Structure 1
Amino acid sequence: MFDHIGIGVRDLDAGTAFFLAALAPLRIELVMRGPDGSVGLGRDGKPSLWLSPASTAPAPLHLAFVAESREQVDAFHAAALAAGARDNGGPGLRPHYHPNYYAAFAIGPDGHNVEAVIHRPA
């Protein structure tokens, strides 16, 4: 639903590596570098998530990314944990949101809660 979002990260290389690895199953990749050293991640050449160097510890955010299948949600969670994230809720239904809310959550290196979600039935 968003066009793009930007977040600060303490270590740009570590933050970029984490998000690229964790979001690879969702077909998100490095698409642009900004003149200030920031990096733009997205699909099809369009940056949707900008990572910028932060001089102070950023406040944690919740970032939810659209998945195209439940298998992508599962793959995101595995990739995020392999990239060094802490588990914040494994793949599964979250019926307290709605009956088809299938998601997984991971805490990235800067404390951001990163989610992959699909809203369609299996």
Structure 2
Amino acid sequence: MIAYVTVGVDDMTLAERFYSAFLPALGYELEEYHGDLSYVLPVEPGQTPVSPDFYVKSPFDGGPALAGNGNMVAFQASGQKQVRDLHAAALAAGGSDEGQPGFRDSYGPNFYVGYLRDPQGNKIALFASNPDEPGRDG
């Protein structure tokens, strides 16, 4: 199981504006620690986390943060409308569009996804694959 995912950023203020525009709507709570951001899903005492935490940090080596080519973090939304709403909120909060929400021919008929870049250039996907919603073919 993946315990956490980390992305590096140079401007924590821009990053917080971007990630706080959509992660709380997905159930994540923001915790700040030594100037870095930790987005965590609440866990009942005695329970084991089922999803990874998401950390936004300055690089430990003091160098500039670099977005990885081919790296992406995907967050699951409850449905297609939430994907559209959160994609729009993230764009308004300083993100850039990497693919408007919709279906893609190369994925399954219920996989609905929108792609973004955070202000640092890290690639983010917001997706839903709810079989109770209309699919690409219907």
TM range (shorter): 0.7 to 0.9
Q: Deviations over 1:27-66 (max 9, x none)?
A: 3331x223x4322113326771011113313223311001
Describe the superposition over 1:94-122 as per-residue Cα deviations: whole angstroms up to 9, x where unpaired: 23111111011111101011111112221
Give the Cα–Cα distance (whole angstroms) in 1 for the partners of residues 101 and 29 of structure 2. 22
What secondary structure does 2:23 align onto?
helix
Q: 1:76 aligns with which of 78, 86, 92?
A: 86
Q: What's the counterpart of residue 8 of structure 2?
A: 8
- Asked if 2 retains the 8 angstrom alpha-carbon contact of 1:3 and 1:48, the reply is yes
Aligned residues: 120
Q: Match of 1:17? A: 17
Structure-2 separation of matches of 1:52 and 1:108: 13
CA distance in 1 between counterparts of 2:91 and 2:66 reads: 21
Alignment gaps of 5+ in structure 1: none
| Identity within the alignment, % | 32
Distance (whole Å) between structure 2 residues aligned to residue 19 and residue 2 of structure 1: 20
For 1:33, the equivalent position in structure 2 comes to 32
Contact preservation (8 Å) 1:23, 1:80: no
Structure number, greater radius of gyration = 2
Q: Which runs of 4+ in 1 moved over 4 A?
A: none
Residue aligned with 1:75, SS: helix
Moved more, 37-46 or 83-92: 37-46
**Pairwise CA RMSD of aligned residues?**
2.0
TM-score w.r.t. structure 1 length?
Answer: 0.85
Task: Indicate conservation of the 8 Å contact 1:26/1:72, yes or no.
Answer: no
Going by fraction, where is helix more abundant, 1 or 2? Answer: 1
Letter in 2 for 1:27: G
